[in-house]
């Protein structure tokens, strides 16, 4: 099956009882048993739910994996992955990652004796020099949030394999339509399904996809034992959202490339971060591992004044000022004070995230309206 067919058919059958084409929402907490242990595969909805099963099977197929576990948020999915580790284990992570992921690693897992070192993963030698006897996991996010750096998944996974480490790729920014890290050697792929997978800004969810049966069993154990599972209604919404993933991504990626070109020539704009530019340092790697260059674009203002970035963001009409990304509607945000507010300023500046950095999640509206909106918002700037 091609990707466009998989989003609609992989793991999804009409309901055998009624013929319903859409997967029913099994809004139940428990399932009847004929005698103890004699049931139809479902006992209690924290452990398994038929709507969730369909979603998990579909997502496993989209990532070219064998197993998927769904969680109540992207952070809960990451938390489940980190629970594969034990005190004393160490992680090497990219230094330009989602602020909430940084917070979980730094402010939660450090307290449980799991230490993370952050580094620029676009240079593989940085990682090689940090691996020590305690290192167990490499945490990759590519394209990175919000500076759209590109990390070479294949090279990192082969380094991870040679050192006996697990490599996990947060694939939220790309979606399985643009990039399938398991094919490049990753052991685990995670998503904030809140973003492109759901695609309509109407749910919060996370997923983890793997190929290895033992890893899958450990994750399913954690999913049930900890219990951060999504409800059936949210699973239904995700299944529905996924059906249009390739259509949405094609349009959003095309819009993003036009917007990046527009911003590049604007007199108030300094750097534009977009891996589709031929002179982007990760352009060739993006071409190798991604189908398109994604629908996220970030930029800095020439004067780098935070208040001026805020003023521009409060003037856009179609680009809604909001946290999150990956929905059909375009969003505008200020990572230094929003998604990355929990990263200390000095560390943020060291990772080249400036005071005026504005991030756009480009949606599927008409391109003329989107460019017109940015033009008027920037145009009123002195
Ligand atoms: C790259 C990335 N990973 C993880 C998360 C966390 O996901 P959630 O908000 O669904 O918990 C986000 C949320 O913005 C994200 O952008």
DSSP labels, 79-139 = HHHHTTS-TT-EEEEESS--HHHHHIIIIIGGGGT-EEEEE-TTSHHHHHHH--TTEEEEE
- Model confidence pLDDT, tens digit, residues 205-223: 999 999 999 999 999 999 9
The ligand 1 atom at the shortest distance from the C-alpha of residue 77 is 11
Which whole number is the average pLDDT over 161-180? Answer: 98
**Ligand 1 atom nearest 194 alpha carbon:** 10
Testing ligand 1's pocket by substitution, the residue of 195, 295, 331, 333 carrying the most ligand atoms inside 8 A of its CB is 195
Q: How confident is the model at residue 252 (pLDDT cuts 50, 70, 90)?
A: very high
> Is 369 annotated as catalytic?
no
User: Does residue 81 contact residue 168 with C-beta atoms inside 8 Å?
Assistant: yes
Q: What does the pLDDT look like over 130-155, one tens digit per residue?
A: 999 999 999 999 999 889 999 999 99
| CA dihedral angle for residue 300, residue 303, residue 304, residue 310, rounded to 10 degrees | -80
According to the model, what pLDDT value does residue 159 have?
A: 98
Q: Is the CB of 101 under 6 A from ligand 1?
A: yes
Residue 98 falls in the annotated catalytic set:
yes
pLDDT of residue 343: 77
Ligand 1 neighbour 24 (Cβ under 6 A): no
For the segment 17-29, the average pLDDT, to the nearest whole number, is 97
C-alpha of residue 75 to centroid of ligand 1, in Å: 6
Residue that has been written with the tokens 């090689």 in this structure:
128
Quick check: CB of 145 below 6 Å from ligand 1? yes
Q: Could you count the other beta carbons within 10 Å of the beta carbon of residue 34? A: 8
Determine the atom of ligand 1 nearest the C-alpha atom of 323.
14
Mean pLDDT of 296-309: 96
Q: What is the pLDDT of residue 229?
A: 98
Ramachandran assignment for 144, one of left (phi > 0), alpha (psi -120 to 50 degrees), beta (any other): beta
pLDDT for res 342? 74
The pLDDT mean for the chain works out to 96
Average pLDDT, integer, range 13-17: 95
Per annotation, catalytic residue among 6, 96, 98, 315? 98
Residues of the chain by 3-state class (helix, strand, coil), percent to 5: 40, 15, 45
Give which of 321, 5, 3, 297 is closest to 175, Cα–Cα: 3
Percent of the chain clearing pLDDT 90 (strictly above): 93
Cα gap 205→221, rounded to integer Å: 18
Cα 330 to middle of ligand 1, angstroms: 17
For residue 381, what are the CA distances in angstroms to 13, 301, 378?
Answer: 54, 11, 5
Cβ–ligand 1 contact at 361 (below 6 Å):
no
pLDDT above 90: residue 128: yes
CB of 171 shorter than 6 A to ligand 1: no
Confidence band, pLDDT 50/70/90 cuts, at residue 172: very high
Question: Which atom of ligand 1 is found nearest the CA of 141?
Answer: 1
Is-catalytic flag, 83?
A: no
Q: Is the pLDDT of residue 96 over 90?
A: no
Name residue 273's beta-bridge partners: 298
Whole-angstrom Cα distance, residue 133 to residue 89?
A: 9
**Residue 309: closest CA among 361, 269, 261, 260:** 269
pLDDT given for residue 23 in this prediction = 97
Say whether pLDDT at 116 is over 80.
yes
What confidence tens digit (pLDDT) does each residue in 331-350 have?
999 999 998 887 789 988 88
In this structure, the residue with its CA closest to atom 6 of ligand 1 is 74
Q: Please give the distance, rounded to the nearest whole angstrom, from the Cα atom of residue 88 to the centre of ligand 1.
A: 26
- Indicate if 42 belongs to the active site: no
35-61, pLDDT tens digit by residue? 999 999 999 999 999 999 999 999 999
Which of 194, 296, 360 has the most ligand 1 atoms within 8 A of CB, as the residue to mutate? 194
Confidence category of residue 287, pLDDT binned at 50, 70, 90: very high
Query: Is residue 230 within 6 Å of ligand 1 at its C-beta?
Result: no
Residue among 73, 75, 96, 189 whose CB has most ligand 1 atoms within 8 A, to mutate: 75
pLDDT attached to residue 341: 81
What average pLDDT does the segment 182-196 reach? Answer: 98
Q: pTM here?
A: 0.96
* Any ligand 1 atom below 6 A from CB of 206: yes
């Amino acid at each position: 099956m091609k990707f466009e067919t998989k989003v609609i058919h992989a793991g999804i059958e009409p309901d055998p009882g009624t013929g319903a084409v859409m997967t029913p929402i099994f809004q139940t907490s428990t399932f009847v048993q004929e005698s103890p242990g004699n049931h139809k595969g479902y006992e209690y909805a924290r452990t398994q739910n038929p709507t969730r099963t369909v979603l998990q099977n579909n997502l496993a197929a989209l990532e070219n994996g064998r197993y998927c576990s769904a969680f109540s948020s992207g952070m809960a999915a990451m938390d489940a992955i980190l629970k594969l580790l034990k005190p004393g284990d160490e992680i090497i992570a990219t230094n330009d990652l989602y602020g909430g992921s940084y917070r979980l690693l730094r402010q939660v897992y450090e307290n449980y004796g799991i230490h993370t070192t952050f580094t620029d993963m676009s240079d593989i030698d940085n990682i090689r020099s940090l691996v020590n006897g305690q290192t167990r996991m490499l945490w990759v996010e590519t394209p990175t949030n919000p500076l759209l750096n590109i990390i070479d998944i294949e090279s990192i996974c082969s380094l991870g394999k040679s050192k006996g480490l697990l490599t996990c790729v947060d694939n939220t920014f790309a979606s399985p339509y643009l990039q399938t890290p398991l094919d490049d050697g990753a052991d685990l792929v995670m998503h904030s399904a809140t973003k492109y997978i759901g695609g309509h800004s109407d749910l919060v969810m996370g997923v983890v996809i793997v190929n290895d049966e033992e890893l899958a069993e450990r994750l399913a154990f954690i999913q049930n034992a900890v219990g951060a599972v999504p409800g059936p209604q949210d699973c239904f919404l995700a299944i529905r959202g996924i059906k249009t993933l390739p259509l949405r991504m094609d349009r959003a990626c095309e819009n993003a490339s036009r917007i990046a070109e527009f911003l590049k020539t604007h007199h108030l704009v300094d750097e534009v971060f977009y891996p589709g530019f031929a002179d982007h340092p990760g352009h060739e790697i993006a071409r190798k591992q991604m189908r398109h260059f994604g629908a996220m674009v970030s930029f800095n203002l020439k004067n780098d004044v935070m208040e001026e970035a805020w003023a521009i963001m409060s003037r856009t009409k179609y680009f809604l000022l909001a946290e999150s990304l990956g929905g059909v509607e375009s969003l505008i945000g200020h990572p230094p004070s929003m998604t990355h507010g929990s990263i200390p300023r000095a560390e943020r500046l060291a990772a080249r995230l400036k005071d005026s950095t504005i991030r756009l999640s480009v949606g599927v509206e008409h391109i003329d309206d989107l460019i017109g909106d940015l033009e008027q918002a920037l145009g009123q700037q002195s």
